[in-house]
Amino acid sequence: MNMQNDESLGKIAMRKFLRDKAACAGCIFIILLFLSAVCAPLLANGKPLLTNMTGEWTSPALRDFFAPDCQEALVERLFNFLLPALLFSAVYLFFTRKWQNKLRSILFWGVLVIIALPFLFSKSVMDKTSYRELALQQKCTAIFAPIPYGPYETSSQIYEKPSLQHWFGTDQVGRDVFARMIYGGRVSLAVGFLATGISLFIGTLIGLFSGYKGGRVDLTIQRLVEIVICFPTFLLLLILMALMLDHGSRQSILLVIAVLGFTSWPGLCRLVRGEVLKQRQMAYIQSCESIGLPTWRILFFHLLPNAAGPIFVSCAFDVAGAILAENSLSFLGFGVQDPSASWGELLREAFADPLTYWNLMLWPGLAIFFTVTSFNFVADGIRKAIDTKNH
């Protein structure tokens, strides 16, 4: 198949995807959720973005941006890094379209490394200053985010209902629910994409090798996969989380990502194996073998691209499943822990009396529902778009 045919099939698939209104709506919601997660420090922050309290213009939020003082600092730094990285990428694509490819690559990666340095080497500093009160007392200019509250900032205003001051109300220790919803989106997206990335790597690698080798190798690997599949997935997650916590592991988002990633690969493995078994009998694979191409090149340069379509569909569904699993674990107390923001943890706070604390149940419940549904819509749209029977 030549490049022109590849491009035409890609354009046909894109047109089919764009004609699917549900898939497009889901894609828009996911993009908005991702942008809100990346821009979280600009949307909800208890520290002023810009102020002249000391007689000169400073940004107390800037140090916290590079070195957040929180339990899940690694995830916070990752999302904070994405904000300048995406802004630079947009400018780079606009102004360097006519540059030489080598020069463009050097500039792109060089600037990204420079942007990453402050996030790698800045040290967090505990700052409990109440900048809002200082701004009122000193009557100085201070520019705050639209939500002038941080996700970990407590107050005496506990269990407040939604108001102009707190759009989604407050929780049991007076933290702003809207701020925690925005930062909870970071947790859900981090778990969804990183856990799926681990699952994708393991499942694709084992599936490719098993399907291509066949025989006793395939038989042995598939029996091991079936053993893992026999365990109820969520029960297996609970058991592994409990065991790791009993052995001194710190309960954090990284632990949740690792457990989800290393337990969700068997389904993808069997899917990739099935696609490889179908492709390995075709003439182009036999031609590759006849000219003596190494196995790794056949697997990754010939078989994998032709099996990529179903993998994309499976990954979109897996991201939704990982997000739902993380929030379920957090709701049960085995996932992300307070004070880290998580939609599942907010739901847990409302469990004592859902009708009284309806704002702690409604907003995270809607967020989980729309996020999981959006990923499922996108996955279904990809499946329809790559279906060659309808081209």
CA-based nearest residue to 77, from 51, 38, 109, 113: 38
3-state secondary structure the chain: CCHHHHHHHHHHHHHHHHHCHHHHHHHHHHHHHHHHHHCHHHHECCCCCEECCCCCCECHHHHHHHCCCCCCHHHHHHHHHHHHHHHHHHHHHHHCCCCCHHHHHHHHHHHHHHHHHHHHHCCCCCCCCCHHHHHHHHCCCEECCCECCCCCCCCCCCCCCCCCCCCCCECCCCCEHHHHHHHHHHHHHHHHHHHHHHHHHHHHHHHHHHHHHCHHHHHHHHHHHHHHHHCCHHHHHHHHHHHHHHCCCCCCHHHHHHHHHHHCCHHHHHHHHHHHHHHCCCHHHHHHHHCCCCHHHHHHHHHHHHCHHHHHHHHHHHHHHHHHHHHHHHHHCCCCCCCCCCHHHHHHHHCCCCCCCHHHHHHHHHHHHHHHHHHHHHHHHHHHHCCHHHC
CA–CA dist 113, 131 (Å, integer) = 33
pTM across the whole model: 0.87
At 1, the pLDDT band (50, 70, 90 cuts) reads very low
As beta bridge partners, residue 50 has 143
Other beta carbons less than 10 A from residue 77's beta carbon: 21
Average pLDDT over residues 141-161: 86
CA–CA dist 138, 132 (Å, integer) = 10
Dump pLDDT digits (tens) for 305-322.
888 888 888 899 999 999
* Predicted confidence (pLDDT) at residue 242 exceeds the cutoff of 90: no
Q: What are the tokens at 307?
A: 């099996």
Q: Which residues contact 359 (CB under 8 A, 6 or more apart)?
A: 161, 162, 168, 169, 177
Average pLDDT over residues 10-26: 85
Average pLDDT, the chain: 84
CA–CA dist 368, 204 (Å, integer) = 28
CA–CA dist 41, 80 (Å, integer) = 8
CA–CA dist 101, 152 (Å, integer) = 45
Cα distances (Å, whole numbers) of residue 383 to 309, 315, 316, 369:
8, 11, 10, 21
Dump pLDDT digits (tens) for 23-68.
999 999 999 999 999 999 999 988 888 887 767 788 888 888 888 8
State the pLDDT at residue 388: 61
As beta bridge partners, residue 176 has 170
| Share of residues in the chain with pLDDT > 70 (%) | 93
State the pLDDT at residue 5: 47
Other beta carbons less than 10 A from residue 238's beta carbon: 16
* Predicted confidence (pLDDT) at residue 14 exceeds the cutoff of 60: yes
Dump pLDDT digits (tens) for 83-107.
999 998 888 887 776 666 777 788 8
CA-based nearest residue to 358, from 350, 370, 367: 350
Q: What are the tokens at 37?
A: 């997660």
Chosen CATH of 179-390 out of 1.10.3720.10, 1.10.10.10, 2.60.40.10, 3.30.390.50:
1.10.3720.10
Q: What are the tokens at 44?
A: 């909800």
CA-based nearest residue to 73, from 186, 179, 156, 165: 186
Domain ranges for the chain? 179-390
At 359, the pLDDT band (50, 70, 90 cuts) reads confident
Cα distances (Å, whole numbers) of residue 111 to 5, 62, 79, 97, 324:
36, 19, 17, 17, 36
State the pLDDT at residue 6: 47
9 or 310, higher pLDDT: 310
CA-based nearest residue to 280, from 218, 362, 223, 212: 212
